[in-house]
Amino acid sequence: MGLHISTIIDGLYFFQIALHAKKGCCKTYSATQNVDYHCTLFQTEHKMSIEEVCRKYQTDIVQGLTNAKAAEYLIRDGPNALTPPPTTPEWVKFCRQLFGGFSVLLWTGAILCFLAYAIQASRSARSHMFDRLSLCLQLYLGIVLTAVVVITGCFSYFQEAKSSKIMESFKNMVPQQALVIREGEKVQINAEEVVGGDLVEVKGGDRIPADIRVVSAHGCKVDNSSLTGESEPQSRSPDCTHDNPLETRNIAFFSTNCVEGTARGIVICTGDNTVMGRIATLTSGLETGKTPIAKEIEHFIHIITGVAVFLGLTFFILAIVLGYSWLEAVIFLIGIIVANVPEGLLATVTVCLTLTAKRMAKKNCLVKNLEAVETLGSTSTICSDKTGTLTQNRMTVAHMWFDNQIHEADTTEDQSGASFDKSSITWISLARVAALCNRAQFKAGQDQLPILKRDVAGDASESALLKCIELSCGSVRAMRDRNKKVAEIPFNSTNKYQLSVHETEDLNDNRYLLVMKGAPERVLECCSTILVQGKEQPLDEELKEAFQNAYMELGGLGERVLGFCHVLLPEDQYPKGFAFDTDDVNFQTKDLCFVGLMSMIDPPRAAVPDAVGKCRSAGIKVIMVTGDHPITAKAIAKGVGIISEGNETVEDIAARLNIPVSQVNPRDAKACVCHGTDLKDLSQDQMDDILRNHTEIVFARTSPQQKLIIVEGCQRLGAIVAVTGDGVNDSPALKKADIGVAMGISGSDVSKQAADMILLDDNFASIVTGVEEGRLIFDNLKKSIAYTLTSNIPEITPFLLFIIVNIPLPLGTITILCIDLGTDMVPAISLAYEAAESDIMKRQPRNPFRDKLVNERLISIAYGQIVTAGFALGGFFAYFVILAENGFLPTTLVGIRLNWDDRSCNDLEDTYGQQWTYEQRKIVEFTCHTAFFVSIVVVQWADVIICKTRRNSVFQQGMRNKILIFGLFEETALAAFLSYCPGMDVALRMYPLKPSWWFCAFPYSFLIFVYDEVRKLLIRRNPGGWVERETYY
Amino acid sequence: MSKDGEKSGWKEYIWNPRTREFMGRTASSWGLILLFYVVFYIFLAGLFALTMYVMLQTLDDYKPTWQDRLATPGMVIRPKSDETYEIVYDTRNTETWDLYAQALDKFLTPYNNSLQTEKNKECTPDEYFLQEDTGDVKNNPKRSCQFNRTILEACSGINDRYYGYQIGQPCIIIKLNRVIGMLPGKDGQAPFVTCAAKREDTDKIGEMVYFPPNGIFNLMYYPYYGKKAQVNYSQPLVAVKFLNITTNEDVNIECRINATNIPIGSERDKFAGRVSFKLRINTK
C-alpha cells in the first residue's frame, strides 16, 4: 500500500518533467512551481507536532480559527473548490463546429464561388459574355454553401450542448457541507468556505472537505479509492507513520470519504492545492489527439481536394488549349472544384453520428463529443479499471468453509445463482457469529428496498457479512435484539480480531456467548476445537491441514478471508451480570470453538464475462489496470475472462513446473500480471514488449501516471485505446486515451470531465454495445459517403461537356443543389439505419492505417464505375432525348453553345428548320436540367440499394430498412414535386416532364444494379480475388 | 514520422524499386486495371450508342415530336445590331447607318425576284398552300411560294439603296419564326403586324407605313413543312417604315403579331409574338 501511494508522488514529478520537456512554456512552469512548493509544505506538516501546525496557521486546537482570520484566509486563498478546467467559451465551441473538419472544404468552396462571382462581375462590366443569370448562380451557390455550413454547424453545436447539459446534471447541486470549529463553536458551513487552519470534524459517511492533518481520531477509516484506486479503507490517526505525506496516517485527503469513525483535523490545503486538485490540474494540461473519425474525415478531405484540383487543373489546361481566355478558364477551374464539393455530406455525416449517439444514449452510453461515437468502434485495446466497472464495487461473501467443505455463496447481483445447503447446524452457528460479531447495520428507512441495494453504515467486509446473513437467515437486527451485546473488543491491527460477548437467545440459559472473528490464522490460534456437522471436535492436525488448504485456496482466489469462532462461556465462571472488561481482558479468549471461514470479494458484474468474451471475439484486447492487489486483480481477471481459462502467467508456469520464475521463457506465457512497482523500472522497450507479447494483461497496483504510461504504450503500438475509469486517479489516462469512458454513477466529476463518453449504468457491458454501434456507424458512413459521392461526378460531367463540345448546359447549379441538399439527403441518412451485413463483433478492429473510411477503391467505384455507368449516361440520355424530341438532334447540338446562350439571338434554327427564341430554348434547356435531375433520382434508387451492402447481395440483406424505403419514396415524391408543382418554373426554373422522360434512365438504373450485384457476387465467390482487391471498399 | 521519412515515403510511393511498383501498383496490376476500365468504358459507350440509336429511330424525319414550346412563334427584326435590339445612328455620319443598309442588303438577297422566280412557285394568295402527304407516300420535295423582294416596295432597297436611313426614315424588317405546321390566322384572316411606341413615347413615333400593305403575312406562305421537305422555303417578311419619327431621342417601339389563333406569349419571353426595339436617330 505504501509503495503504491508513493508512486503518485513519483507520478507528479514525472509530470513536471514531462511537461517541461514537452512545452517549457512559462504557464506550465509556474504550475510546476506550485506543485513543488506544496510538496514541501506537506512534508513539514505531517511531521510537525500539532502545536507547530497550529502556530503556522495561527489557529487554536480547541477554539479553531477566529471568524476574522477565516475571512482573511478565504480572501487570500480563494474558495475551497477545484477550479473547473478552463471551459471553452460558448462562441469558441460554436466556431469550432463552424470551421472544423469538413466545413473547411465547404468554406473553401463558398469562398471560391464568391471569388468567381467577383471575377465575373468585374468582367461583365466590360462585356456581356456572361449573362446575369449565371453570374447570380455563382453568388447563390456561395450563399447556399455558407448556409449549409452554418446550419449543420448550429445543429452539431446544439447536439453537443445537449449532452453537456446532461453532463452538468451530474454535478452535485447540493452544496457540500463541512463541520468546522471557529471561535470554539461548531458551525456547519459550506465546504467552499473552509480555509487553511480551520479545525474540522468529520464522521463516518462524510466527505473530507480539504486535505487535513488529523489531530485526533476514533476508529476513523477513509476510503481513498477515488484517489488511489485502492478499495480497502484505511485508518487515520494523529501519528505520523511515514515520511511520505501521501503514506502517513495523519493526513486525510480532499474529496475522499470517511467510511467510519470520527476524526478532527486542521486543514492544511484547500482547493487546487490539494492532492486531488493537483491531479485534476495535471489532467487538464494533457493534450489529446484527434479522434479517429476526425482523422478519417481529414483523409477524405485530402482525397476529395486531390480529385477536385486534379479535375479542375486538367480542364483548366484543356480550356486554355480549346482557346478559352485565361479568365474563363479560371472560372471553369473554380466551377469544377466547387462542383466537387459534396455539399450535403457534412449534414449527412453529422446526422448519422447524431442518430448513433442517440441510439447509444438509449443503451446507457452518453457521448459527450459527437465524433467519439465512432471511436469506440475502432478501439483495439480497452484498458479497464477494475473496481466498479468490472466488479460490482461492493464486497460480497463469495465462499464459506465449514463442515470441512468449501461452500459457494451466491454473488450475483440479482441472487439468481446457486445456493448452498443452509440446513447444517454449523452454518447456523456461523451465521450467528457473523451477525453478532459485526458492527455494520443498515441505515434507517430502507425496509422496502431489496437487501442488496440497501445502504450500510460500516466497513465493507462487515457490510458484506451483514447482507449475506440478512439474505439467508432473515433480520439481523432481530437476532441482535435477541442476543444483547454485553461487551466488545473492536478490531485492531495488533489483535487482528474482533470479539464480542452476548446474552443467549434462550432465556433459560444464562450463559454468555462469546463470538470472535478475524484473521483466520489468529482466530485458529485461539481455538482448540472445531464444529463439524454441529458437533464439537478436537482440532487435530488433519483438520488443521484441511483448514490450511481451504484458507490457501480462498486466499488464492483473491478473496479476503475471515475466520469465525465462538464459545459459550461457562456459567460458573461468568455468571449473569459478570462485568466484562475489554481493556484489561478478564475473560476467556482461548480454547474457543472454530466454526468456519467466510471469504469476501468484490464480485464481477454478471454481464462482464460475456462482454469480455465479445470483446475478445471482436479482436479487442482487454487490459485490466487497477490499483488493487495483484492476487485480487488476477482472481477477478480470471473470473471475468480477461485471463482466459488455460492461459498461464509466468508465475503460474513456474509454479506448475516447479522451477524459478527466471527460468521460464516469458514467450510461453500469454497472460501477464504486472505489478506497478515493476512497471516503474521498465524501459520503454520492455513495456512495448509486454504489451506486444501478451494477449492478456493485468496491471495491478498502478498509479495514475503508470496508467498513463500504459495508455501511451498501447498507442505507441498503434492501438486505438479506450480507457474506463471512475476515480480521479484515472482521469489523466481518460484524457490521454483515444476515448475515455467514465462511470456515470460512481465516477468522480473530474473523471467525467476528462472522459469523452459516460456509461450511465457503470456497466462494462455497455461498452460492448458502444463498440458495436461504433463499428456499425463506420460501415454505414462508408455506405453513406459512397452513395453521396456517386451523385457528385455526374454533376461535373455536364459542365465538362459544356466546355469541351459546346453543347447547352445539361445540368444547372440549382438542380445540382436540389440533388445534393434535397433528394440525396434522406436516402443517405437512411443508410445509417442499415443493419450490419455480417457479425461485426466477430471481426478484428479496423486498422487505422489501412482501413480508411474513404479509400481509393471507394473513389474508383463511386467515380469510375457506378457514376459513368448510371448517372452520367442516364442523365445525358434523358438530355439528348428531350432536345431531340423538341427538334435539336445531337449533331446540331455540338458547337451550338455560343448561339444558344446568346440572348439577342431569337431565331436560332433547330435541326428541322424551326426557329427558337432565347426564352423558348432556355425552357427546353431547363426541362433538360429537370430531366437530368430526375434521371439522377432514378439512378439513385438503384444506387441506394447498391450502397446498402458492400459484400452481400441485396437479396440476402433484404429490404428491411424502413427509413430507406421511406427515403426512396421521399426522393421520388420530392423530384415529382419539384418538376410538377406550379410556380417551380419561376422559383427554381424546373419544368414539368412528359411521363416518358422519366423512363430514360431506367435502363441505366437497372444496368448499374446488375453490374454491382455481379461485382458483389464475384467478391463473395472469390474471397481475396482481383475483384475484391480492386473494388471492395 | 519525420519530414525526411515522409519525403522518402513519397518517393517510394511514386517508384518503389524493390517491388517495382509505380504509384503503389506493379506494371501488370496497372495493366489489368486499365484494361478493365478500357473494356468497361467501351461497353458503356456501346450501350449508350445503342440507346441513342434506338431513340433516334423513334423520331420523325420531318416533324419534331413536341412543339408545345413553340406555340407562340418568336418575332425578330432586321437589321440586328450586335447584342442588343437597338438601332442608333447619326444621319450625318454615313458609317453609322451604312452598316444597317449593308446588313439589310445581305438579308434580302435571297428574296431577289430573279432567285424567287427561279426556285419557287407563284401561289394563290390568301389561302394556305397545303401539300399533304397521301398516307405513307411522301409528297416530297414540297414547293414553296415566292416572296419577291419587290413586295417590300419602298423598303425593298431597290429604289432606295439606303432603306431611308440616310434621310431619317428607316425601314425595319420583321419576320415571324418558322414553326413546322403552323397555320396562323383564322377564317381566311391573315396575321398582321402592328407597331406602336411604348407608353411615354407615343407622341414621338409619328407615321408608319407597312409593306406589304397592312403588314400582313400572306396565308399562302403557311404551313411550313420543315427544312428537309421544303428546302427553298421563303419566310414572309413585313417591313415598317417610320416616316417622321422624333429625332435625337430614344423611341421604344414594340411590334406584335395579330392573329386570333396565336396565343399571347408568356410575360417572361419578350420575343414570343412580339418584338421590342429602340430607335434613335441623331441629326445634330
Please state which CATH class domain B75-282 belongs to: mainly beta
Judged by a CB distance cut-off of 8 A, whether residue A996 touches chain B is no
Q: Give the integer Cα–Cα distance in Å for A20 and A67.
A: 41
Contact call for B64 and A887, based on CB within 8 A: yes
Residue linked to cell 501546525: A53
Q: How many Å from the N-terminal Cα to the C-terminal Cα in chain A?
A: 52
Instruction: Assign A172 a pLDDT band (cuts: 50, 70, 90).
Output: low
Comparing alpha-carbon positions, the chain A residue that sits nearest to B56 is A884
Least confident of A72-81, A169-178, A629-638, A851-860: A169-178
pLDDT of residue A5: 39
Judged by a CB distance cut-off of 8 A, whether residue A993 touches chain B is no
Contact A623, A722 (CB under 8 A): no
Nearest to A882 by CA among A985, A986, A994: A994
Q: Give contacts of A907 with chain B, Cβ < 8 Å.
A: 74, 76, 175, 177
Distance from CA of A130 to the nearest CA of B (A): 12
Q: Between residues 177 and 206 of chain B, which touch chain A (CB distance below 8 Å)?
A: 177-180
Q: Which one of A906, A912, A1003 has the shortest CB-CB distance to B51? A: A1003
pLDDT tens-digit series, residues A955-1009: 988 888 999 999 999 999 999 999 999 988 888 889 999 999 999 999 999 988 9
Nearest to A350 by CA among A544, A156, A512, A136: A156
Q: How many CA atoms lie within 13 A of B255 on its CB side?
A: 30
Distance from CA of A345 to the nearest CA of B (A): 27
- The cell for A700 is 495491478
Contact call for B44 and A868, based on CB within 8 A: yes
Q: Give contacts of A994 with chain B, Cβ < 8 Å.
A: 66
pLDDT of residue A572: 85
Q: Give contacts of B73 with chain A, Cβ < 8 Å.
A: 915
pLDDT of residue A708: 84
Q: Give the integer Cα–Cα distance in Å for A874 and A1012.
A: 16
Q: Give contacts of A914 with chain B, Cβ < 8 Å.
A: 64, 67, 70, 177-180, 224, 226
Q: Which one of A880, A886, A907 has the shortest CB-CB distance to B69? A: A886
pLDDT tens-digit series, residues A292-310: 888 888 888 888 888 888 8
Least confident of A732-741, A750-759, A1016-1025: A750-759
Judged by a CB distance cut-off of 8 A, whether residue B157 touches chain A is no
Q: Give the integer Cα–Cα distance in Å for A968 and A945.
A: 10
Q: Between residues 860 and 919 of chain A, which touch chain B (CB distance below 8 Å)?
A: 864-865, 868-869, 873, 876-877, 880-881, 884-887, 889-890, 902-904, 906-907, 909-919
Judged by a CB distance cut-off of 8 A, whether residue A995 touches chain B is no
Q: Strand locations in A228-380, DSSP E?
A: 234-236, 251-252, 257-269, 365-367
pLDDT of residue A174: 56
pLDDT of residue A790: 81
Residue A813 has pLDDT above 90, yes or no: no
Averaged pLDDT, A211-240: 79
pLDDT of residue A1018: 92
Distance from CA of A986 to the nearest CA of B (A): 9
pLDDT tens-digit series, residues A443-489: 877 878 888 788 887 777 888 888 888 888 888 888 888 888 888 88
Q: How many Å from the N-terminal Cα to the C-terminal Cα in chain B?
A: 81
Q: DSSP letter at A542?
A: H
Residue A7 has pLDDT above 70, yes or no: no
pLDDT tens-digit series, residues B83-135: 678 899 998 888 888 889 999 999 999 999 999 998 888 888 888 888 888 77
Judged by a CB distance cut-off of 8 A, whether residue B106 touches chain A is no
Q: Which one of B41, B48, B275 has the shortest CB-CB distance to A877? A: B48
Instruction: Assign A494 a pLDDT band (cuts: 50, 70, 90).
Output: confident
pLDDT of residue A346: 77
Q: Give the integer Cα–Cα distance in Å for A727 and A722.
A: 16
Buried b or exposed e, range A862-891, using 16+ CB within 10 angstroms: bbbbbbbbbbbbbbbbbbbbbbbbbbbbbe
Residue linked to cell 419566310: B235
Averaged pLDDT, A817-821: 83
Contact call for A919 and B272, based on CB within 8 A: yes
> Rounded to 10 degrees, what is the CA torsion of A477, A478, A480, A481?
120
Instruction: Assign A175 a pLDDT band (cuts: 50, 70, 90).
Output: low
Contact call for A128 and B47, based on CB within 8 A: no
Distance from CA of A861 to the nearest CA of B (A): 11
The percent of residues in chain B predicted with pLDDT above 90, rounded, is: 37
pLDDT of residue A536: 87
Quick check: bond before B79 cis, omega within 30?
A: yes
Whether the model pTM is above 0.90: no
Catalytic center residues of A: 385
Residue A794 has pLDDT above 50, yes or no: yes
Least confident of A22-31, A117-126, A275-284, A514-523: A22-31
Contact call for A1030 and B83, based on CB within 8 A: no
Distance from CA of B68 to the nearest CA of A (A): 9
Residue linked to cell 407597312: B210
pLDDT of residue A283: 72
Q: Give contacts of B41 with chain A, Cβ < 8 Å.
A: 868
Comparing alpha-carbon positions, the chain B residue that sits nearest to A877 is B52
Nearest to A415 by CA among A462, A376, A458, A472: A472
Least confident of A58-67, A124-133, A175-184: A124-133
Instruction: Assign A416 a pLDDT band (cuts: 50, 70, 90).
Output: low
Q: Give the integer Cα–Cα distance in Å for A348 and A785.
A: 9
pLDDT tens-digit series, residues A635-686: 888 888 888 888 888 888 888 888 888 888 877 788 888 888 888 788 888 8
pLDDT tens-digit series, residues A693-740: 888 899 988 877 788 889 989 999 888 999 988 777 788 888 889 999
Judged by a CB distance cut-off of 8 A, whether residue B13 touches chain A is no
Judged by a CB distance cut-off of 8 A, whether residue A684 touches chain B is no
Q: Give contacts of B275 with chain A, Cβ < 8 Å.
A: 906
Q: Between residues 211 and 270 of chain B, which touch chain A (CB distance below 8 Å)?
A: 224, 226-228, 230, 233, 266, 268-270
Q: Give the integer Cα–Cα distance in Å for A141 and A818.
A: 11
Contact A222, A275 (CB under 8 A): no
Instruction: Assign A818 a pLDDT band (cuts: 50, 70, 90).
Output: confident
Q: Spell out the domain ranges in chain B.
A: 2-57, 75-282
Instruction: Assign B194 a pLDDT band (cuts: 50, 70, 90).
Output: very high
Averaged pLDDT, A947-958: 89
- The cell for A311 is 479535375
Q: Give the integer Cα–Cα distance in Å for A550 and A563.
A: 11
Contact call for B44 and A881, based on CB within 8 A: no
CA distances from B138 to B128, B225, B228 (A): 19, 12, 12
Comparing alpha-carbon positions, the chain A residue that sits nearest to B180 is A914
Residue A86 has pLDDT above 70, yes or no: no
Instruction: Assign A889 a pLDDT band (cuts: 50, 70, 90).
Output: very high
pLDDT tens-digit series, residues B4-60: 555 667 777 778 788 777 777 888 888 998 999 899 889 989 999 999 999 999 999
pLDDT of residue A973: 95
Residue A370 has pLDDT above 80, yes or no: no
Interface test with A, best of B70, B107, B234 (most A CBs within 10 A): B70
Distance from CA of A916 to the nearest CA of B (A): 7
Report for A127-141, A501-515, B207-221: range of highest mean pLDDT? B207-221
pLDDT of residue B83: 67
Residue A169 has pLDDT above 70, yes or no: no
Q: Which one of B37, B76, B180 has the shortest CB-CB distance to A907? A: B76
Q: Which one of A877, A880, A915 has the shortest CB-CB distance to B177? A: A915
Contact call for A907 and B74, based on CB within 8 A: yes
Contact call for A910 and B270, based on CB within 8 A: no
Least confident of A172-181, A192-201, A482-491, A948-957: A172-181
Instruction: Assign A19 a pLDDT band (cuts: 50, 70, 90).
Output: very low
Mean per-residue pLDDT of chain A: 82
CA distances from B260 to A728, A1033, B183, B190, B224 (A): 90, 65, 11, 9, 19
How many contacts does A have with B, using Cβ atoms within 8 A?
118
Q: Which one of B55, B233, B268 has the shortest CB-CB distance to A881? A: B55
**Higher-scoring residue by pLDDT: A205, B239:** B239
Contact call for B40 and A884, based on CB within 8 A: no
Q: DSSP letter at B72?
A: S
pLDDT of residue A85: 66
Judged by a CB distance cut-off of 8 A, whether residue B48 touches chain A is yes
